Structure 1
Amino acid sequence: MASSSHNNFDDTIDETLNQVCDQISNQVWQSLLTPPVQHQQPPKPKKKRTFIERNREVGHAHLWNDYFSEDPTYPPRMFRRRFRMNKPLFMRIVERLGAEIPFFQQRRDATGRLELSTLQNCTAAIRMMAYGTAADACDEYLRIAETTSFSCLDHFVDAIINCFGDE
């Protein structure tokens, strides 16, 4: 009798163990087949960039008429004071960067309009360095956004090192 009850007990344990194993394997398969439920916060709404029409062509025209035309508004001494260098040196830098560095070459954008001129890019960078002004200070006169001014300064420094490093 002892042996028959022992077999019943073993059978019960085997059966219980099989049921538990079946349940666990079913749960594992279900978790593998079912994508996990992610408990995330809802995505933040995307911020829409605000487009500001800066009329960059007007900025170039003002800059050209004020300092670079045949009859500029401001005399050479004002140019030197504001740019911290004489006009021939400034023009040498502008011409070389415009010829050798793609960032400073004026191209057309996707809408067919001319992008910022080489003069605008170089003036933004030089004025930020010469005066230590904030990047967004270039916006009103040169019509250049703050992020673009930072980009001009970054590219300008690298370009000066590459083009004039030996000098």
Structure 2
Amino acid sequence: MLTLLSQLVTRKHLKHDQEGSHQQIWKDYFVENCTYPANYFHRRYCMRRELFLRILKDVEAYDEYFIQKKDCCGRLECSSIHKMMAAVCILAYKFLGDHCDEYLKMGKTTTIESLKRFCYVVIALYEGKYLRSPNEQDITRLL
């Protein structure tokens, strides 16, 4: 049995500091005297902070995957902000890159799962209002 277990190929576990990363994200973008002004957030994530936080609230209410939990060892997993930032970054720039691992402290598997779930939730929540063809009222308002 031991020889069989020793032959199993396992992934190398990287120690991601999700708690520290979460605190850094808040310090960088969401506190009163944040490191980066609002236009940096808009440029980096292609939306205003207020819109990001409103969508985040809706996403958390719809899918509990986005709510931060503890793992089996009692450590905090990625926060909802981590997961949504990763998904938005991939959608905005069309690449996975090392941004998620280096800044957000997220592994590739979590990043991809976050992207899939985020897309599903956005469609489920907003399809009827925002992901449709414009109606007469929309056209009138825009013109």
Question: What amino acid is aligned across from residue 39 of structure 2 in structure 1?
Answer: R
| Residue 138 (structure 2) aligns with | none
Output aligned runs, 1:33-52, within 5 Å: 45-52=7-14
CA RMSD, 1 decimal: 1.7
Paired residue type of 2:111: S
- Compare the two structures and name the one with the higher helix fraction: 1
Q: Does 1:61 align with 2:23?
A: yes
Say if 2:126 is the partner of 1:161.
no
1:87 to 42, 49, 52: 49
Q: TM-score, normalised by structure 2?
A: 0.81
Superposed, 1:8-27 pairs within 5 Å as none
Unaligned runs of 5+ in 1: 1-43
User: Structure 2: which 5+ residue stretches go unaligned?
Assistant: 1-5, 130-143
User: Higher relative contact order by CA 8 Å / sep ≥ 6: 1 or 2?
Assistant: 2
Call closer, same or farther: CA 1:135–1:154 in 2, change over 3 Å: farther
Whose Rg is larger? 1
The 2-side partners of 1:133 and 1:74 are apart by: 23
SS at match of 2:28: helix
| Counterpart mapping for 1:144-159 below 5 A | 144-159=106-121
Following the alignment from structure 1 to structure 2, what is the Cα–Cα distance between the partners of residues 112 and 147? Answer: 20
How far off is 1:136 after superposition?
4.0
TM-score where L is the length of structure 1: 0.70
1:39-96 deviations in Å (ceiling 9; x for gaps): xxxxx93102211111111111111111011211111111111110111110111111
Q: Percent identity?
A: 35
Q: Shift of residue 159 of structure 1?
A: 0.7
1:118-157 equivalence runs, <5 A: 118-157=80-119
Larger mean Cα displacement after TM superposition, 117-126 or 51-60: 51-60
Q: Given that residues 136 and 149 in structure 1 are in contact (C-alpha distance below 8 angstroms), is that contact kept between their aligned partners in structure 2?
A: no
Contact 1:135 1:150 in 2 (8 A): no
Displacement over 2 Å in runs of 4+: none
Deviation at 1:135, TM superposition (A): 4.9
SS of residue in 1 equivalent to 2:103: helix
